[in-house]
Each structure stands twice: as C-alpha cells, then as structure tokens.
Chain A
Amino acid sequence: MSSENVTVRKRKRGFFSEIRTNGALFLMLVPGAIVLLINNYLPMFGVVIAFKRYRLFNNFFDSVIRSEFVGFDNFAFFFKSPYAFNITRNTILYNLVFIALDLIVPVALAIALNELRNKRGSKTYQSLMFLPYFLSWIVVSYLAYSFLSMDKGFINTTFLSMFGLDPVNWYSETKAWPFILTFFHMWKYTGYNIVVYIASIAGIDSEYFEAASLDGASKWQQIRHITLPLLQPIMIIMTLLAVGRIFNADFGLFYNVTKNSGSIASVTDVIDTYVYKALRNSNNMGMTAAAGLYQAVVGCITVFTANMVVRKIDKDKALF
C-alpha cells in the first residue's frame, strides 16, 4: 500500500504523537467508532452466549461471563432439531437460484435494452423496472396479498374463476412458494441489477462495435465476442459477492411476503427467519444464539473464500 512508503519516515512516531498531530482526524472518527462499538462490537462479544446456558446476573457482561458453560450443547440441540437441515437447505437453495437468475436475466435484459433503437423508450423501461427496488418488503407483501388472498385475491377471484377452477389457499400451498418467492425477488431486484450492467455496457468503447460492424459481424457475434467478454469481470464480481452472502437470506422477503404463515414454513423458513422466530417464541437464548453464530461463522467463511477468488481475478474489486 502506498501509505507504507509515505509513512516510512514517520515510523518511529507512536500512536499518541499521531493523535497530537492528527487529532482532528481522530475526532472525526469518534462518532462512527462509537456507533460501531455499540451496534457491532458489543454484540460480537455476546456470541459467547451460544456456549452458555444463559441466565441473568447483574448486567449483560456479568450475565455472559457467569452463565453456566455448556460447551457445544446449544449447537448440538440446534442441529438435532428438525429445522437445522431444513433452514440451511432452504437458505442455500433459494440463494443459488437467486444468484443464477440475478446473473442471467439482468445481463440479458441490459444487453437488449442497450440495443433498443428508441433511447427514450429504453430510459422509460429502465425507470419502470427500477421502481420496485424502492419499495419496502411490507409494501411488497401488500402487493402479494392483493393477488394471493384466499377470498379476495386477484388470482382466486378473477383468474382461476375465469377457468372455473377452485380457489387455492395460497398461504398454505407449499408447492407454490418457491416460485412466488423467486418471482418477488426478481421483481424487486432485476431493475437494480440491470442498472449495474447498463452502466458497465455504457463504459465499453463504441469503437469496438463500429469496427466489428464494418467487418460485417452480426449482432450476436458482437454480443458474444465484445459485450460479454467485457462484462465478464463485473459479472464475476457481482456473482461472487452474492455467493459470499449465500448464508444470509433476505429476511423481509421470507418473513413478510409469506405473512409468516406456519403451513408453508417447511419451504419458506430460512436461517434468518428461524433465528428471529426462536428469539420470539422461546426463551432459550443459548440455542437461538447458537443458530445465529452458526450462520455468522459459515457466512464469514464463504465471504472470505469468495473474496479470495475475487482478489485472484481483480485485486481492485476485492472487498479487502
């Protein structure tokens, strides 16, 4: 790093002399550092709860330290529960599907948008497709409800009845939810991803295309041999970043759009919703914390691995 060269001369100076010279800069860091401390680092200390039978003592720190140590019992209970496998599977499978679709669909659409002859149309489509990204999951759950409601929803009252079919109780129809959730994920994020890729395509030097056209290359050939190869780095980065977060599910999607309906939990419960519900329903802090820590540690490993790969490809794109 460049700073190393710059600071060679100052090496001998200690932390306190740095504070003296750059006091103002330190002061600027203070508010942010305090928030990080409260919001992120104090809870990090609390991961110890996962190894404890959590009981109350004088205060948080005291409770964490003095609660009885039970080793990996909490983890054992969690993994023995019927849910450990199910929620892990759901989290990974949904994310895999999302990652694949988030790569293919937006890239294809971004390229197509870029080829449109009417540029104003292209802008309008972009605006309309980007809009869902700005809505909260609560609003999305309303939209979903207006289509899926058993007695009033559009699908039951208009669509199915048009074909003389019986209404379906969507909020307990397990088979439908993998599709519904995928749909709403795509609905919300496709516009966002398109914007990312459009920006990259716009950055490609138009001379490449002009030269290719003059050489008689077809559109398909241009896309295959110019656009896609040049988009490849950003595609890889975006995908790897998503792979790194494969253990973190979108809580809003899985909790709100499903209306937290118990009947479909087997296909809609993910680690995040499980941990939330466990905090709410049981007073077993230890096991809940264990489930959370399991997610954090595995998630941490995946982020690291993904980042290592990114680093190999393009050092500047790596997170750290």
Chain B
Amino acid sequence: MTPGIDVSLAQVAAALVLVAIAIAVSFWQRAGLEEEIGIAVVLSFIQLTAIGFVIQIIFDEDRLVFVVALIAVMVGFGALTARRRASRVPEAFWPLVVALGVAATGTLGLVVALGVFEPEPRFLVPVGGMVVGNSMTASAVALNRLGDEVHSHAREIEATLALGATSTQAAAPIVRRSLRSGMIALVDSTKTTGLIFFPGTMVGMLLAGADPEDAVRLQLILLYTLLGSVALAGLISITLAYRNFFTPAHQLREPPEP
C-alpha cells in the first residue's frame, strides 16, 4: 500500500453497492446482464487479487526475468482473448501473439532506452500491463473489422485480383480502414483526455496523494507510449493476419457467393 492511501476490504465491499445498482438497472430494463455482471465482479476480484500477489512477489524479487515471464503470460492471454473477438479471421492467434509481443517489448525497450523509465519491475510491470491491454483491445477491434470487411467486400477484392493485383494490393483499402478503426478509440480518448474524462493513472496517482503536476506528466508519458504501442500492435496484427484470407496464388480462400 502506498503511504498516501490505505484501502481496506470493507471499502471495497462498500463499492459493491454500485454493482447492485448496475444489476438493478439490468433487471429493471430486462437487459439480461445480471449474471454477466455477477461473473465480471467475481472474476475481477479473483484476477486482480491474484495479480496483486504476483506483482508483490515480482517487486520483492526485483528480477527482470520475472517481469518478462509475466508479460509473456499477459501476451498469451491477450492473444487468446483478442482471437475470440476476431472470430472471422482465420488463424488469428499467432499474428496476435507477434503483435502484442512486439508492441510490449518494443515500446518498453524504447521508453527504457530513452530514459523515460528505469528498467525496474515497479515501472515495467504496470506499464507493460497497460501496453498489452490496450494493444489487445486495438488489435481485436482492428481484426474484427478486417474479418467483416473481407466478407462484405469479397466481390470488390476478387474483382481487383482479377485485374492482376497482388493480394497485398487488393487488400490495401480494407487494411487501411481496419487499422484506422483499431486506433481511433485511443486517438479520440487522447484528444479528449482532461476535458471529458480523467485517465486511470492520473486518478490513481491523485488518490494516492501524488502532486498533480507529477500525475499529469506521468499520464502524458503513458498516453504517448500507448499511442505508439497500439499503432504497432494494430499494424503488425493486420499485416500478418490479412494474408490468411488469401492463398499463395493470390486467391481468396473464401470466394464471394456466386
């Protein structure tokens, strides 16, 4: 616990009143989300408590190999989760593993090399978690869009292939649109940050008693880091995954309906 804040389990339990409101709204409006909300609450409690213990061990050990192992596990779970969202993309798992892995190692390596953060677990673990989490969301959105675009524009893609275009040339417009849709949420939230919402890191630091100026600077560093990692993850996942829609002879594996 940081010196500036001490949170008891009773306080966490008190926050469950807000969850009760969410369940009540769902029940009242027959949204059918009561069970899902319950599962989400239980899972979040178990997962965050477990990861809290893991992070505590990594901080106590203070060895980079544990950081690498934790990020590798996050990349694996992130790729599995994103693959479920991108169900229309064939064999999406490995492109996602590569995308999240490169985004995590690339951006963390760069911020350490630039002297933004010290190469210590207390910096690398939380930043790595945010990088993998945001990259996963962006890649999932981008690949989901890619799958939809390939199916809805199969006729246009095949008409372009019929002119002698390569699969890369035929897919270029949908690759552009998919990358854009993966990145746009973070770009928009970066534009409105501080005006419409306070980002999580800044809120956490302010609650923990940090100086607002420090909280803002750290938040800016994280936002810029996330922009880079999300762009990298989106680009890599799409660049690797779109090829799975085509054969080596530049044919669509699932041609349009006749």
- Bound pair: A and B? no
Chain B residues with a Cβ under 8 A of chain A: none
